[in-house]
Amino acid sequence: MKHLNDKAAHNLTAVRGKKPLIHNITNFVVMNYTANALLAMGASPVMAHAQNEVEDMVSFAGALVLNIGTLTDDWVASMIKAGKRAAEQQIPIILDPVGSGATPLRTNSAKNIIDAARITVIRGNASEILSLRHDKSKTKGVDSIHSVEEAAQTATVLAEELNTTLAITGPVDLVTEGSRVLRVANGHPLMGYVTGTGCTATVVIGAFLAVDDDPVSATATALAYFGLAGEVAGQNASAPGSFMIQMIDALYTITPQDLKKGCKIETAN
Amino acid sequence: MKHLNDKAAHNLTAVRGKKPLIHNITNFVVMNYTANALLAMGASPVMAHAQNEVEDMVSFAGALVLNIGTLTDDWVASMIKAGKRAAEQQIPIILDPVGSGATPLRTNSAKNIIDAARITVIRGNASEILSLRHDKSKTKGVDSIHSVEEAAQTATVLAEELNTTLAITGPVDLVTEGSRVLRVANGHPLMGYVTGTGCTATVVIGAFLAVDDDPVSATATALAYFGLAGEVAGQNASAPGSFMIQMIDALYTITPQDLKKGCKIETAN
Amino acid sequence: MKHLNDKAAHNLTAVRGKKPLIHNITNFVVMNYTANALLAMGASPVMAHAQNEVEDMVSFAGALVLNIGTLTDDWVASMIKAGKRAAEQQIPIILDPVGSGATPLRTNSAKNIIDAARITVIRGNASEILSLRHDKSKTKGVDSIHSVEEAAQTATVLAEELNTTLAITGPVDLVTEGSRVLRVANGHPLMGYVTGTGCTATVVIGAFLAVDDDPVSATATALAYFGLAGEVAGQNASAPGSFMIQMIDALYTITPQDLKKGCKIETAN
pLDDT in tens, C3-35: 999 999 999 999 999 999 999 999 999 999 999
- Select from A27, A70, A195 the Cβ nearest to the Cβ of B39: A195
The CA-based angle B161-B167-B170, given to 5 degrees, is 130
A103·B40 Cβ contact <8 A = no
3-state helix, strand, coil in chain A (%, to 5): 55, 15, 30
Q: Which among B190, B213, B218 has a CA at the least distance from the CA of B202?
A: B218
A70·B49 Cβ contact <8 A = yes
| Closest residue on chain A to B40 (Cα) | A193
pLDDT in tens, A201-251: 999 999 999 999 999 999 999 999 999 999 999 999 999 999 999 999 999
CB B12 within 8 A of CB B41: yes
Strand segments (E) across A160-208: 165-168, 173-176, 181-184
Give partners of C (≥3 CB pairs < 8 A). Answer: A, B
C57·B30 Cβ contact <8 A = no
CB C122 within 8 A of CB C166: yes
- Select from A39, A52, A244 the Cβ nearest to the Cβ of C194: A39
- pTM for this one? 0.97
- Strand C181-184 and strand C265-267: the pairing is antiparallel
Q: How far is A109 from chain B (nearest CA, A)?
A: 11
CB A202 within 8 A of CB A65: yes
Q: What number is the average pLDDT over the span C230-244?
A: 98
Give the number of other CB atoms < 10 A from CB of residue B32: 24
Q: Which among B193, B224, B174, B159 has a CA at the least distance from the CA of B9?
A: B224
pLDDT in tens, B194-208: 999 999 999 999 999
- Chain B CB contacts of C45 below 8 Å: 195
C247·B241 Cβ contact <8 A = yes
Res A34: pLDDT: 98
Four-CA torsion A17, A20, A26, A28, nearest 10 degrees: 50
3-state helix, strand, coil in chain B (%, to 5): 55, 15, 30
pLDDT in tens, C53-109: 999 999 999 999 999 999 999 999 999 999 999 999 999 999 999 999 999 999 999
Q: Which among A156, A155, A92, A79 has a CA at the least distance from the CA of A118?
A: A92
Backbone angles phi, psi at B35, to 5 degrees: -65, -45
- Select from C33, C105, C195 the Cβ nearest to the Cβ of A39: C195
The CATH classification number of A2-267 equals 3.40.1190.20
- Please state the three-class secondary structure of A77-110 as a single string: HHHHHHHHHHHHCCCCEEEECCCECCEHHHHHHH
In sign, the C-alpha dihedral spanning C198, B244, B201, B87 is: positive
Q: The complex's ipTM?
A: 0.95
CB neighbour list of residue B75: distance below 8 Å, 6 or more residues apart:
B25, B49, B68
Most C CBs within 10 A among A22, A23, A32, A55, hence the mutation to make, goes to A32
CB A55 within 8 A of CB A79: no
In this prediction, residue A142 has a pLDDT band, given cuts at 50, 70 and 90, of low
Question: How far is residue A71's CA from residue A199's CA, in Å, rounded to a whole number?
Answer: 14
CB neighbour list of residue C2: distance below 8 Å, 6 or more residues apart:
none
Question: How far is residue B207's CA from residue B60's CA, in Å, rounded to a whole number?
Answer: 14
pLDDT in tens, C187-224: 999 999 999 999 999 999 999 999 999 999 999 999 99
Residue B165 has pLDDT above 90, yes or no: yes
Residue B175 has pLDDT above 80, yes or no: yes
Most A CBs within 10 A among C195, C244, C245, C246, hence the mutation to make, goes to C195
Q: Residue A237 CA to chain centroid, in angstroms? A: 24
Q: Which helix (H) or strand (E) holds C21?
A: strand C21-25
Size of interface A-B (CB pairs under 8 A): 80
DSSP A59: T
Most B CBs within 10 A among A67, A72, A197, hence the mutation to make, goes to A72
Burial profile B207-221: b = 16 or more Cβ within 10 angstroms, e = fewer: bbbbbbeebbbbbbb
- Chain A CB contacts of B75 below 8 Å: none
Q: A-side interface with C, Cβ within 8 Å? A: 28, 31-32, 35-36, 39-40, 45-53, 56-57, 60, 244-250, 252-253
C265-267, strands of its sheet edge to edge: C44-47, C21-25, C63-67, C93-96, C121-124, C165-168, C173-176, C181-184, C265-267
In chain A, % of residues over pLDDT 70? 96
Domain boundaries, chain B: 2-267
Question: How far is residue A183's CA from residue A112's CA, in Å, rounded to a whole number?
Answer: 28
3-state helix, strand, coil in chain C (%, to 5): 55, 15, 30
A47·C30 Cβ contact <8 A = no
B93-96, strands of its sheet edge to edge: B44-47, B21-25, B63-67, B93-96, B121-124, B165-168, B173-176, B181-184, B265-267
Size of chain A in residues: 269
